[in-house]
Amino acid sequence: MFIFDVETLGKESNSVILSMAAIYFDPETKPSYEDLYNSAFFVKFDVEDQVRRLDRKIGKTTMQWWAKQCDIVKAKSLKPNKALDVKFEDGYEAMRKWAESKKDDQCYVWARGNLDQLVLDSFEEQLEIKPIWPFNRWRDVRTAIDILYNTTNGYCPVNYKGFSADAKVIKHNPVDDCAYDAMMLMYGADPKDPPF
């Protein structure tokens, strides 16, 4: 299975993408958080190029939200970095090659909600590029967690020895977000159950 996350500058399908990450995982191998995190694909994009050349949009309320985030996630995704920022097409093709190297084109692609898929679809349509994953392979993490673990907010405790979300996860870092969602899908627990 793949798990996918983007950080954007808006809530519309034509928004700028700051960065994207994905992790490929096999639940049968029982990976740890570190296994997931260290296996991630990550790319950071050139925002100015997206706005100027592709007319991608920046949302005012999203910029206000980013202003309140911690310096670590701002440095990871928001702040320009000439050494790391790439054109969207280059980062997208790098992700395609990475995904193809997993040789599993029939598996599900999990994302938290549908914005990530909608923004990616918008880029694919605008640039007339073939999708990395077909539309019908996408699944929603929040819905799965709520149904599997009797929650209502898309989050659940993780029943994996030594894992603590508070100690390990930096929210809105797309690699952390992917790894955390994978942990909840594989090792989630009903909040009413006693800890392991």
Cβ-contact 156, 188 below 8 angstroms: yes
What tens-digit pLDDT sequence spans the chain (196 residues)? 999 999 999 999 999 999 999 999 999 999 999 999 999 999 999 999 999 999 999 999 999 999 999 999 999 999 999 999 999 999 999 999 999 999 887 889 999 999 999 999 999 999 999 999 999 999 999 999 999 999 999 999 999 999 999 999 999 999 999 999 999 999 999 888 766 5
User: What is the rounded CA–CA span in Å between residue 42 and residue 123?
Assistant: 17
pLDDT score recorded for residue 196: 58
CATH number, domain of 18, equals 3.30.420.10
Tell me whether residue 171 is in a domain.
no
Structure tokens at 15: 């928004």
Tell me whether residue 142 is in a domain.
no
The boundaries of the domain holding residue 36 are 2-137
pLDDT score recorded for residue 194: 63
Q: For the chain, what is the domain count?
A: 1
Tell me whether residue 48 is in a domain.
yes
Tell me whether residue 95 is in a domain.
yes
Tell me whether residue 63 is in a domain.
yes
β pairing state of 2-8 and 17-24: antiparallel
Q: Who's near 55: CB < 8 A, 6+ residues apart?
A: 14
Rounded to 10°, the helix 174-187/141-149 angle is 30
Tell me whether residue 73 is in a domain.
yes
Cβ-contact 5, 112 below 8 angstroms: yes
User: What is the rounded CA–CA span in Å between residue 20 and residue 172?
Assistant: 11
Tell me whether residue 56 is in a domain.
yes
| DSSP state string for 31-75 | --HHHHHHT-EEEEB-HHHHHHHH--B--HHHHHHHHTS-HHHII
pLDDT score recorded for residue 119: 97
Residue identified by tokens 């980013």 is 66
Find residue 21's DSSP bridge partners: 5, 42
Cβ-contact 63, 22 below 8 angstroms: no
Tell me whether residue 145 is in a domain.
no
* Alpha-helix residue ranges (DSSP H) falling in the chain: 33-38, 47-54, 60-67, 71-73, 88-101, 115-127, 141-149, 165-168, 174-187
pLDDT score recorded for residue 67: 97
Edge-to-edge order in the sheet of strand 138-140: 41-44, 17-24, 2-8, 109-111, 138-140
pLDDT score recorded for residue 195: 62
